[in-house]
A = this chain, B = another copy of it.
């Protein structure tokens, strides 16, 4: 229902919300796990949508155009893949026009719920919610577990030799 591009754009915005200065595309690509060529397109769309700023030069990169308190899920969706609403009859029935039938009214009602959730969710609020999983980050436990796994693998390899 939500596009892959929106998922990627949200990762970019969330990542930049935690950075203090301009960040290069390569650095964003690593943190967000978005393929770099795809990421360039996403960043371009977010710039066009006025959500991120580009700074050129040696220490250039991308920054958020406004604080995470002032960016909602809705803003990101509108920049990338606007939430569609049904405002006129998709069948093109002249007499329906903007007076939708019950089927299209109900579909639009569902879309309206999504829009409300998106409009009331700021990036800042989502980042401050106390959950065990921090957006874009592995938990400290997992980082420790990964380290131990790598060590075990190394030891096994050495023993094989």
**A→B interface (CB under 8 Å):** 1-2, 7, 10-11, 14, 32-33, 73, 83-84, 89-96, 99-107, 109-111, 113-114, 117-118, 121, 126-127, 129, 131-139, 141-142, 145-146
B139 engages A91 (CB within 8 Å): no
Given A33-B91, A83-B1, is A102 in contact with B117 using a C-beta cutoff of 8 Å? Answer: no
User: Can you tell how many copies of this chain the complex includes?
Assistant: 2
Closest-by-CB residue of B relative to A4 is B90
Report the bound CA distance from A2 to B104 in whole Å.
11
Q: Which residues of B contact A127 (CB under 8 A)?
A: 102
Q: Which residues of B contact A109 (CB under 8 A)?
A: 117
Report the bound CA distance from A137 to B91 in whole Å.
10
